[in-house]
Amino acid sequence: MNNGTVLGLSNGEKAILIIVPPILGALLGWFIPAIAGWAIKIPFIPFGGVLEWIATLESQWVSVIGVFLGVIAGIFFVFYAFSETLKITITDEEVKLNYKESVNTIHKTDTSAIYMEGKDLVFLGTEGNELFRGQPESKKKLVSEAFKQHRYPWKDKDPFENQYQRWVADHPDFPAHVNALLSARERTLKNEEKVEAKNLRKDLADNGIVIRDEGKRQYVRETVRGEVNDGSSKKGR
């Protein structure tokens, strides 16, 4: 089969995303004087002076300008939402993953396992290393069927799930620079700095470390040489 399969937002979801935000923006803009009048009654609300000034304006042009600005804001939100959506194109030979302005291409021959971990779609390489992690818009069943249709090594769960161990500070199994990265990432988890935590995950993947998060705890394993096995290991969690 040479035809590609595309996973992402459905046509209905795209239509809703394109139409609804500008309409909501326009409605909020039209009623902005009334909204401002209601908001100034809330104690300690920021920009109280600006809101009070808007509430005193009676010209219809205020609402017209508000509609214009609301529509513009809605359009910007649509572009932002589309940029944050992961688009997956699957062929018999490779997978293209479009996210924001980057495109990752993963060849089937370089892949040993693909599975869902919570909301994340995970690709593992032939040495058990993590090639990619992202959140698809499609449901898990649709994602799994698409990869199976193109004969990719889809797994119902992480084939190395029994090889993770709880990371603690200055873990004796890891060198100092890896422990430093893991320590920095644990701080980002506690502070809910999601972007930095994602960046540190990539840095650790480059060092042969694969991470599974459980809440704000990190479970880790080192890259395994050889083919994916059934997940048996001497190391427990």
Domain with CATH 2.30.29.30 in the chain: 87-158
pLDDT over 50 (residue 232): no
- The percent of the chain in helix, strand and coil, each rounded to the nearest 5, is 45, 25, 35
Residue 229 has pLDDT above 50, yes or no: no
pLDDT, residue 157, reads 94
DSSP bridge partners of 6: 89
The mean pLDDT of the chain is: 85
Q: How much is the pLDDT for 152?
A: 97
Q: pLDDT higher for 167 or 225? A: 167
For residue 98, the 8-state DSSP code is: E
Pairing label, strands 130-134, 165-166:
unpaired
Q: Tell me: pLDDT of 230 over 50.
A: no
Q: What is the mean pLDDT of residues 45-56?
A: 66
> Rounded to the nearest 5°, which phi and psi values hold at 200?
-70, -30
Query: What's residue 81's pLDDT?
Result: 79
Q: How confident is the model at residue 225 (pLDDT cuts 50, 70, 90)?
A: very low
Arithmetic mean of pLDDT, 109-128: 95
Query: Among 110, 141, 114, which Cα is nearest to 126's?
Result: 110
160/193 Cα distance (integer angstroms): 27
| pLDDT (tens digit per residue) in 80-117 | 877 788 999 999 999 999 988 789 999 999 999 999 99
Asked if residues 228 and 128 have their Cβ atoms less than 8 Å apart, the reply is yes
53 pLDDT higher than 80: no
Task: Find the helix or strand (DSSP H, E) in which 214 lies.
Answer: strand 209-214
Give yes or no for residue 226 having a pLDDT over 50: no
For domain 87-158, the CATH class is: mainly beta
Instruction: Take residue 174 and report the two structure tokens written for it.
Output: 């890891």
Predicted pLDDT at 1:
45
Q: Half-sphere exposure of residue 128, counting CA atoms within 13 Å on the CB side? A: 23
| Residue 13, pLDDT score | 79
Distance CA 89, CA 144 (A): 13
The neighbour count for residue 150, using CB atoms within 10 Å, is 19
The mean pLDDT value for 18-44 works out to: 80
Predicted local confidence at residue 220, as pLDDT: 95
- Please tell me whether the overall predicted TM-score, pTM, comes out greater than 0.75 for this model: no
Give the end-to-end CA distance of the chain in Å, rounded to a whole number. 41
Rounded Cα distance between 94 and 131, Å, is 13
What value does the mean pLDDT take over residues 116-130? 94
Give 43's contacts (C-beta < 8 A, 6+ positions apart): none
Confidence band, pLDDT 50/70/90 cuts, at residue 223: confident
Over 70: is that where the pLDDT of 50 sits?
A: no
Report the DSSP pairing between strands 165-166 and 111-117: unpaired
Q: Say whether pLDDT at 65 is over 70.
A: yes
- Please report the beta strands in the chain, taking only residues with DSSP state E, as ranges in sequence order: 5-7, 87-90, 94-99, 102-107, 111-117, 120-125, 130-134, 165-166, 209-214, 217-222
* Residue pair 104/97 in contact by the 8 Å Cβ criterion: yes
Q: What is the pLDDT of residue 156?
A: 94
For 205, residues 6+ apart whose C-beta sits below 8 A from its C-beta are 129, 130
pLDDT digits (tens, 9 = 90+) for 140-176: 999 999 999 999 999 999 999 999 999 999 899 899 9
